[in-house]
Structure 1
């Protein structure tokens, strides 16, 4: 628990240091010389979906997708001309049907090519580690693929996304937790 508190403190502290470091004119000049745009911030909100279990008494009823939790992820990183980015992200993932709350810590690679005048395609892939809260030392690898379509602006970009994520740790006689989610992503430049 102490390591988790230390990590969260350092993660929040890094946001403050990142903001202060970009106010200096020397750091902006150095960034322009390296052809790397100043850092970006990202916020992801999504809702995992599961199929409604089949009712054995009413087999004619259709199956529906139901919400199974809430995911909130945030991160920061370096961006190249609003097209590609590499960042460090964390947040929390919940799965109500599994009675699970997890904290992933991961690297995120993003590619966002323009597909129209004011629209872009967002492709993201992530890899890192995830920790289950309240489950002892339960942890494993975290993988995520995210695709979406959004609109362009000079300061903020937003996209509606579909994502698939996987937490590789055993829980409830399963080897891993796989999640299909729908949500939105905001990029702040």
Structure 2
């Protein structure tokens, strides 16, 4: 009888102390660690008549005015869409300086997730800027941008500061502040 009771107790304890086996989480490797990037931005300049009332329309003048257009494309590699390294090229037009520049640069991109489908992006780039407007100017190209991106579609908005590393008529180097849209294809 003692043996039957012991067997019964062990049988009951078998169910009471069972554990669920937790399998270790495996990181799924991204099948396409390559990204393609397209950017369209508008450089801005300060409006000298900001805040004044336009006599023709009766409206206040804007603080900033568009000063050209920038088109850029790039390709690179990324790790889980969080960090990326790429090579970029493009064409920038600065209307106030009568300048067309072709920047070619490398970039490092950080884009941590801040919500389920939203990432905040920051990108730093360094390379070479070549003037193609007949001025034979060239210099180092530097850029830094900060933006927000939808993870699912890859579309985003950003603000960018860039410097071309040369001057045309004045001692200061030409640069710009731009607002733009971008599209990342993963």
**What range is the shorter-chain TM-score in?**
0.7 to 0.9
Report the equivalent of 1:103: 102
More helix by share: 1
Structure 1 residue 148: deviation in Å? 0.5
Q: Equivalences for 1:171-182 in 2 at 5 Å?
A: 171-182=168-179
Which of structures 1 and 2 has the bigger CA Rg? 2
Report the equivalent of 1:72: 71
**Take 2:61 and 2:93, find their aligned partners in 1: how far apart are those partners?**
26
Aligned residues: 153
Task: Report the secondary structure of 2:33's partner residue.
Answer: strand
Structure 1 residue 134: deviation in Å? 2.6
Structure 1 residue 150: deviation in Å? 1.7
Task: Name the TM-score, length of structure 1 as normaliser.
Answer: 0.74
**Structure 2, unpaired ranges of 5+:** 1-26, 54-59
**Take 1:137 and 1:47, find their aligned partners in 2: how far apart are those partners?**
24
Structure 1 residue 71: deviation in Å? 0.3
Moved over 6 A (4+): none
- Over the aligned positions, Cα root-mean-square deviation in angstroms equals 2.5
Structure 1 residue 173: deviation in Å? 1.3
Task: Report the secondary structure of 1:182's partner residue.
Answer: strand
**Take 1:187 and 1:89, find their aligned partners in 2: how far apart are those partners?**
13
**Take 1:75 and 1:40, find their aligned partners in 2: how far apart are those partners?**
8
Structure 1 residue 64: deviation in Å? 2.0
